[in-house]
Structure 1
Amino acid sequence: MADNNPSPHVVVVSSPGMGHVTPLAGLAKLLVLRHHFTATLVTFSDLPWSLPSSISTIQLPTPLLDDLPSNTHFVTRICLTIAHSVSPYVKSSSLSGEPPASPPVGHPKLSFYNLQLFLPFFHAPPPYTRRNHHGEFRDLSEPLRLPGCVPLKGEDFLEPMQERESVVCAWVVHLARNYDLFDGTLVNNFEAFEADAVLFYKKRGVGKPHVWPIGPLIGFDLDMGTEQSSHKCMEWLNQQPSKSVVFICFGSVGTLSLEQTRELALGLEMSRQRFIWVVRVPNDTEMSNSYFNPKQNGDDCLGFLPEGFLERIKDRGMMVQSWGPQREVLSHYATAGFVSHCGWNSTLESLVNGVPMIAWPLYAEQRMNAVLLVEGVKVALKAKVRVNGVVRREEVAKVVKELMEGEGGKEVRRRMQEMKEEAAKAVEK
């Protein structure tokens, strides 16, 4: 007999990049296991996890973008990849030449933000969508003050919005103007983390799309196999005292310049603290250089470090090339601090595990995240950056020691413990 009440089905479409697909895979698994949905996960890459049988996957072919200049920004590449790959499967909007804002009419339309809770609103404040606004946002003389948000300087805005004439800026503004076409927005966050922003959304009134904080989703127990637990850095970490190690990792694609890599190395040495550092091949032009070129970091990443560095730190430092088991490291009893690029997945993993941070943003929305973490929620310290964009070794040593031993570190550790407890409550709901 046919089932007259089939399970609801959801199609989850991810943009390119493992950092994007991971939370969406977690969302799909959450809907399947807790709410009895079936799901289709649409991605641009193979998945390294096992998923329930009720989640099917479709891998879209990555279009050739060889005609783009070699220095094309990675966000531009993402937008063009999505436009070329997804558009044939989705009815186009009436805005000729622009990306479709929503799925075909008749289907519930939900957007998913793996970002701060206020970002759906941040996309469309008057300075962004007003056509007669002139000048670059980074040159604004006063911080932008949005309801429920920490004041933001123009230089800390979402990176794609820094160049008004860019393809990415046009894409974001287009999405902002069509935001109200969605039936609602799911945000990978939890209420206690941005209480003022939650209150703002609740007061918006009838006729506006609902916004639901449904996090923290940090993979929702995705099965990554046994490879991580056997990583050599975990063996080293098991031998360290409780709350004694700083973990340094700039996400799955973040890269530093050669000068910054060496300054960070010497600063860690000067700090005299134990550390694990996931190091990549330096790149002097693009902080997200590994995004579409992940295999390049199969090269020797340690040859760029200062002469004699590895020998001098061998008793208190562990160097990991290209990739490390971040979730396991952050949940380990020996880990006491996290130097992070402030990507949203990394931020949530740090919150869930109660590990205070040193904010070191690189690209995309990470500067905005850093402002929230340092000035808003106060769970992170931040190193001072020179005019040339480099954090000097003395500053690295100073901020690392402050996190591990100073009064500032004690305060952000206390606040992070509060957020850890609130995150646990949100997961239980």
Structure 2
Amino acid sequence: MESSPITTTHIALVSVPAFSHQVSILEFAKRLLHLHADTFHVTCIIPTLSSSPSKHSFFFDSLPHNIHCIFLPSVNFHDLNNNGVSVEIQTQLSASRAMSSVRETLVSLSKTTDISALVADAMAPEALEFGKELNILSYIYFPCSTMVLSVCFHSQNLDEEVSCEYKDHPGLIHLPGCIPISGRDLPDSMQDRGSLAYKLFLQRCQRYLNGHDGILVNSFMELEEEATKAISQHGNGGDYPHVYSVGPITQSGPSGSKSRCECLLWLDKQEPNSVLYVSFGSGGTLSQDQIDELALGLELSKQKFLWVNLRAPNDRASATYFSEGGLVDDDDPLHFLPKGFLERTKEQGLVMCGWAPQVEVLGHRSIGAFLSHCGWNSVLESVVHGVPMIAWPLFAEQRSNAALVSDGLKVALRAKMKKPSVVVKEDIVKLIKGLMEGLEGQEIRRKVKELKKLANSAIMEDGSSTRTIANLANKWKNKHT
């Protein structure tokens, strides 16, 4: 008797014009396909900007054959870009402006294939309306922590309970299952309650609570157990949607270079656990004063360091989030560093203004710690590789993440600003020595090694996140049976 052919289940994803978000949702798709080979086909619909860089094409070129990306025409962005508008507003409004194209694409897809589920990025929740329209299961993909999701779920209550600006609130903010958090550490969108960013944030949070089949969060039960349990208890009473912990979802696959890049070759020559890796992500920038203080702090620490993705100074921390900008002098791209710094530290460290393969760097034996902006992708990559952190948040929800890793998980030391918006070199030296050499650093190292084991367990064959994804996969496969 012949076996019946395998039926392919089609899933549609909707992302936003931000590479870190695109990586996260597509890595989730890769994880789904890895666990359920040949039974799924994924189409990812991606709004674009005229300023979208081509430097990430290697990532899309390396995707499996059963993940297909549709890049939508560029949305009109000129009234927002370079106008002091926050990253959150730019991301959400650019996604919103692409929704008519998203709907058109989904309707066209639905005419040729049975779509079982729609998964939309947390910054594009409007797309879930199309799931209802097409009678398909609809989910939000939340690329941040469960704690930040809890902030979103409680945002309306907080708005009613707290009368002042959150940054001026005298006490700590208490959320079920989460560490108490300072109002100053809530996401940027909450820091000006009269702003458009705050209005859009509250609207987005309301959509998280209603009108879909669940939220996929890029975390894992063992990392944020109490927060996950607290949300689940509310969910059982019908207050919250079902939350699926599917992480850690981190970047995998080709790094974009067939040969080992300069920084990996340099790391090969260093002693085990001896190098501090410094990166503020794909879009973070520092002021001139802060670049000077960080450079001198690295030098004075006498610690080996690898400083990558360094951009020309800018007083807006997110100034280059949507572009490749930041370099102003091709002949001397690092001219803005303190005079003589590169010469004095040529045996101590390596500074790069360009891209570095972060996953390979964090997995390298010579890396001893990570000075990070605390983007959630970077936090998870650090945890997966068991690398302790210096938490140095810049924008978006990064201060919330910094509070979680330093005060909650206790796998990081946090940079504190003494001057207005500047961490001074003396404190930078203390942070580096405390983490790389001190007793406190030893305890942090022990804790992050424990989390590394838990992260690996979560994605093993019978791990908590693997089981969660299996449950989702079965639901999606059975949608049309």
| 2:164 pairs with 1:135 | yes
Please tell me whether the aligned partners of residues 148 and 400 of structure 2 are also in contact (alpha carbons under 8 angstroms): no
- Offset of residue 67 of structure 1: 2.7
In 1, the alpha carbon distance for the partners of 2:228 and 2:93 equals 32
Task: Quote the Cα distance in structure 2 between the aligned partners of 1:28 and 1:287.
Answer: 30
Name the structure 1 match of 2:254.
Answer: 223
- Per-residue displacement from partner, 1:223-258 (whole Å, max 9, x unpaired)? 33434x521111111000111000000011111001
TM-score (norm 2): 0.82
Q: How much is the aligned-residue C-alpha RMSD, in angstroms?
A: 2.2
Partner of 1:63: 75
The alpha-carbon deviation at position 99 of structure 1 amounts to: 7.5
What is residue 466 of structure 2 aligned with on the other side? none
Q: Which amino acid aligns with 1:60?
A: L
Higher alpha-carbon deviation: 360-369 or 32-41: 32-41
Shift of 1:193: 0.9
Cα displacement (A) at 1:187: 0.8
Please say if residues 271 and 397 of structure 1, whose CA atoms lie closer than 8 Å, have aligned partners that are also in contact. yes
State the SS of the aligned residue for 1:61.
Answer: strand
Q: Which amino acid aligns with 1:226?
A: S
CA contact 1:51–1:223 (8 Å) conserved in 2: no
Q: Which has the larger displacement, 63-72 or 130-139?
A: 130-139
Distance in 2 (CA, whole Å) between partners of 1:100 and 1:225 is: 33
Specify the code of the residue in structure 2 equivalent to 1:199. K
Tell me the amino acid that sits aligned with residue 41 of structure 1: C
Aligned AA (1:125): H
| Partner residue, 2:350 | 318
Q: Does the 8 Å contact 2:310/2:351 carry over to 1? A: no
Aligned amino acid, residue 381 of structure 1? L
Task: Please say which of residues 238-247 and 139-148 is displaced more in the overlay.
Answer: 139-148
- The separation in 2 between residues aligned to 1:284 and 1:296, in whole angstroms, is 8
Match of 1:94 in 2: none
Cα deviation code 1:287-315 (max 9, x no counterpart):
01111221443744410111111111111
TM alignment of 1:277-426, pairs within 5 A: 277-297=307-327, 299=329, 300-426=332-458
**Equivalent residue letter for 1:209:** P
Aligned partner of residue 297 in structure 1, secondary structure: coil
* Corresponding residue for residue 44 of structure 2: 41
Structure 2 distance, partners of 1:127, 1:372, is 22
Structure 1 range deviating more: 251-260 or 65-74:
65-74
Q: Which moved more, 1:30-39 or 1:325-334?
A: 30-39
Q: CA 1:281 to 1:126, structure 2 compared with 1: closer, same or farther past 3 Å?
A: closer
Q: Tell me the distance in 2 between the aligned counterparts of 1:362 and 1:128.
A: 26
Q: Once the 2 structures are TM-superposed, how far is the Cα of residue 222 of structure 1 from its aligned partner?
A: 3.0
- How far the C-alpha of 1:87 sits from its partner, in A, is 3.7
Identity %: 37
Contact 1:12 1:40 in 2 (8 A): yes
Report the more deviating stretch, 77-86 or 3-12. Answer: 3-12
> Could you tell me how far 1:88 is from its partner in structure 2?
4.2
Tell me the distance in 2 between the aligned counterparts of 1:276 and 1:224: 18
> Does residue 1:20 correspond to 2:52, yes or no?
no
Query: 2:162 and 2:340 mapped to 1: Cα distance?
Result: 53
Residue in structure 2 matching 1:102, options 125, 128, 131: 128
Check whether the contact 1:160–1:364 (CA below 8 A) recurs between aligned residues.
yes
How much has 1:168 moved relative to structure 2?
2.2
CA distance in 2, matches of 1:88, 1:132: 39
The reply to whether residue 251 of structure 1 matches residue 264 of structure 2 is no
1:18 CA drift (Å): 1.3
Query: Number of aligned pairs?
Result: 419
User: Cα offset for 1:126?
Assistant: 5.5
- Contact map agreement 1:279 1:301 (CA 8 A) in 2: no
Q: Please list, as runs of the form range in 1=range in 2, the aligned pairs for 1:77-88 lying within 5 A after superposition.
A: 77-88=90-101
Give the residue type in structure 1 aligned to 2:274.
S
After superposition, give the CA deviation of every residue in 1:197-235 in whole Å (9 maximum; x if it has no partner): 12213322143421111111102x3333434x5211111
- CA distance in 2 between counterparts of 1:126 and 1:23 reads 24
Identify which of 295, 306, 312 aligns with 1:276. 306
1:232 aligns with 2:262: yes
For residue 158 of structure 1, the aligned residue among 183, 187, 190 is 187
Deviates more, 1:9-18 or 1:26-35: 26-35
Match of 1:95 in 2: none
* Residues 11 and 65 of structure 1, relative CA distance in 2, 3 Å threshold: same
Amino acid of the residue matched to residue 406 of structure 1? G
> Residue 294 of structure 1 aligns to a residue in which SS?
coil
Matching residue's letter, 2:402: A
- Could you say if the C-alpha distance between residues 6 and 363 of structure 1 is closer, same or farther in structure 2, counting changes exceeding 3 Å? same
In 1: Cα distance, 2:192 partner to 2:127 partner: 22
The answer for unaligned runs of 5 or more in structure 1 is 92-97
Match of 1:74 in 2: 87
Q: 1:198 aligns with which of 205, 224, 228?
A: 228
Contact 2:156–2:202 (8 Å) recurs in 1: no
Q: 1:382 to 1:132 in 2, by over 3 A?
A: closer
Structure 2 counterpart of 1:390, one-letter code? V
Distance 2:68 2:184 in 1: 41
**Residues of 2 paired with 1:279 and 1:212: CA distance?**
33
Q: Kindly state the Cα deviation for residue 415 of structure 1 after the two structures are TM-superposed.
A: 0.4
| CA separation of 1:383 and 1:390: change in aligned 2, threshold 3 A | same
> Which deviates the most, 125-134 or 366-375?
125-134
1:111 corresponds to = 140
- Structure 2 distance, partners of 1:72, 1:80, is 11
Specify the code of the residue in structure 1 equivalent to 2:357. Answer: P
Change (3 A) 1:412 1:131: closer
Q: Which moved more, 1:365-374 or 1:129-138?
A: 129-138
